[in-house]
């Protein structure tokens, strides 16, 4: 009996094509994820973002309980500037007693503090927002940021929050129709991001919209109404036209300030709060956006 040639035996043992294990490509952020103890998400502009909703806080403005995704989300965005060099920007949502320990930890790790201020008015308990900037080795930056978070009661990120009910979806549909823009859901909160036209730079580096340079419009339902907060990203000549539109539509400006130190063009961030029908709130924010150079 003749034996098959060696090449034929090899063909029997080794598949012609063998997609045995489809190994996902590495994002390049695995070491940073590990240092932070959290999984980030890739965003536009080669940015990797992390979020820490303050689900431990029960913050209320009058009768409205502010959902974490509405305006109580700490976050950090990382962007590589070289093979082993990155920049990070973001802000942390803190109780008053947490501010000084966090600032000390960030500055001890070489971070710059960009702003310490309010975003809301009349909330209980009072919350403070610390904006930061770091530049250097991304793992070292992540370790400092994790130590700063450890000075707070910020919980580790959990699974996705429950989505909206059918009635809430109807409210959001009416809101988006009035606003003329579509958003995305973070649990039962609707979030709409509107980038500015033109580049925003800090020194020689471009800061993409995903690093906090987009106007943020967030919404949660309050029965058949919506509560809204967020911030407009404005140049100087846009500040008062936007403020007039907000006030004309019953939306309160709650803060006007800077989030950066060396940006070009010079920017102002106008935070706001409003509760009303989805049609009223949507129309008011649409009118305000019409006063802004958006892309």
> Does 16 score more than 90 pLDDT?
no
Q: Is-contact 163 170, C-beta < 8 A? A: no
Share of the chain above pLDDT 70, in %: 91
185/281 Cα distance (integer angstroms): 18
Residue 238 covered by a domain: yes
Domain limit, last residue, from 158, 185, 207:
158
Task: Give the closest residue to 199 by CA, choosing from 211, 181, 216.
Answer: 211
Residue 151 covered by a domain: yes
Task: Give the closest residue to 219 by CA, choosing from 270, 163, 161, 175.
Answer: 175
Which pLDDT belongs to residue 83? 77
Q: What is the mean pLDDT of the chain?
A: 91
Which pLDDT belongs to residue 26? 53
Residue 4 covered by a domain: no
Residue 18 covered by a domain: no
Which pLDDT belongs to residue 158? 80
110/106 Cα distance (integer angstroms): 7
CB-side neighbour CA atoms (13 Å) of 45: 21
Residue 3 covered by a domain: no
162/140 Cα distance (integer angstroms): 34
Task: Tell me: do 53 and 152 sit in the same domain.
Answer: yes
The string of pLDDT tens digits covering residues 275-291 is: 999 999 999 999 999 99
Residue linked to tokens 């994790």: 146
Task: Tell me: do 175 and 108 sit in the same domain.
Answer: no
pLDDT, average across residues 132-155 = 97
Residue 16 covered by a domain: no
CB-side neighbour CA atoms (13 Å) of 128: 14
Both tokens assigned to 168: 């809430």
214/234 Cα distance (integer angstroms): 10
> Does 14 score more than 60 pLDDT?
no
The three state secondary structure string of 227-259 is EEEEEEEECHHHHHHHHHHHHHCCCEEEEEECC
To which H or E segment does residue 133 belong? strand 127-136
Task: Tell me: do 137 and 168 sit in the same domain.
Answer: no
Task: Give the closest residue to 226 by CA, choosing from 167, 287, 270, 288.
Answer: 167
Which pLDDT belongs to residue 201? 95
Q: How many domains does the chain have?
A: 2
The string of pLDDT tens digits covering residues 87-122 is: 999 999 999 999 999 999 999 999 999 999 999 999
Q: CA 66: distance to chain centroid?
A: 16
pLDDT, average across residues 211-228 = 98
Task: Tell me: do 147 and 255 sit in the same domain.
Answer: no
Residue 246 covered by a domain: yes
Task: Tell me: do 266 and 254 sit in the same domain.
Answer: yes
Task: Tell me: do 168 and 151 sit in the same domain.
Answer: no
Residue 23 covered by a domain: no
> Does 69 score more than 60 pLDDT?
yes
Task: Tell me: do 124 and 41 sit in the same domain.
Answer: yes
Task: Tell me: do 134 and 194 sit in the same domain.
Answer: no
Which pLDDT belongs to residue 287? 98
- Give me the CATH number covering residue 246: 3.30.1460
Could you tell me the residue range of the domain that residue 212 belongs to?
Answer: 160-295
C-alpha separations of 245 from 30, 123, 194 in Å: 45, 24, 17
> Does 160 score more than 90 pLDDT?
no
Task: Tell me: do 76 and 134 sit in the same domain.
Answer: yes
> Does 22 score more than 80 pLDDT?
no
Task: Tell me: do 113 and 172 sit in the same domain.
Answer: no
pLDDT, average across residues 2-12 = 43
Q: How confident is the model at residue 128 (pLDDT cuts 50, 70, 90)?
A: very high
Task: Tell me: do 77 and 140 sit in the same domain.
Answer: yes
Domain limit, last residue, from 141, 158, 175:
158
- Give me the CATH number covering residue 132: 3.30.70
Domain limit, last residue, from 113, 141, 158:
158
Q: How confident is the model at residue 27 (pLDDT cuts 50, 70, 90)?
A: low
Task: Tell me: do 52 and 150 sit in the same domain.
Answer: yes
> Does 171 score more than 60 pLDDT?
yes
- Number of Cβ within a 10 Å radius of residue 216: 17
């Amino acid at each position: 009996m003749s034996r098959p040639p060696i090449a034929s035996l090899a063909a029997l043992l080794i598949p012609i094509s063998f997609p045995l294990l489809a190994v996902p490509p590495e994002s390049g952020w695995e070491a940073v994820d590990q240092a932070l103890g959290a999984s980030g998400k890739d965003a536009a502009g080669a940015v990797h973002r992390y979020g820490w909703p303050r689900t431990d806080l029960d913050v209320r403005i009058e009768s409205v309980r502010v959902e974490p995704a509405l305006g109580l989300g700490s976050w950090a965005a990382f962007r590589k500037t070289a093979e082993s060099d990155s920049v990070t920007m973001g802000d942390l949502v803190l109780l008053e007693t947490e501010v000084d320990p966090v600032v000390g930890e960030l500055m001890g790790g070489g971070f710059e503090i960009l702003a310490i201020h309010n975003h809301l008015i009349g909330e209980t308990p009072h919350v403070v927002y610390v904006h930061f900037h770091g530049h250097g080795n991304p793992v070292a930056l992540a370790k400092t940021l994790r130590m700063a978070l450890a000075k707070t009661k910020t919980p580790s990120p959990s699974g996705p929050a429950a989505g909206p009910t059918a009635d809430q979806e109807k409210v959001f549909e009416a809101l988006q129709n009035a606003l003329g823009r579509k958003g995305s859901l973070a649990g039962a909160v609707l979030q709409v991001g509107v980038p500015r036209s033109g580049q925003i730079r800090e020194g020689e580096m471009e800061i993409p919209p995903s690093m906090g340079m987009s106007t943020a419009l967030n919404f949660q339902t309050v029965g058949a109404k919506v509560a809204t907060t967020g911030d407009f990203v404005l140049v100087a000549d846009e500040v008062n036209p936007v403020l007039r539109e907000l006030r004309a539509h019953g939306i309160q400006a709650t803060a006007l300030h800077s989030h950066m130190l060396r940006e070009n063009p010079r920017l102002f961030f106008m935070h706001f709060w409003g509760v009303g029908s989805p049609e009223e709130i949507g129309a008011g924010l649409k009118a305000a956006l019409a006063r802004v150079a958006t892309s």
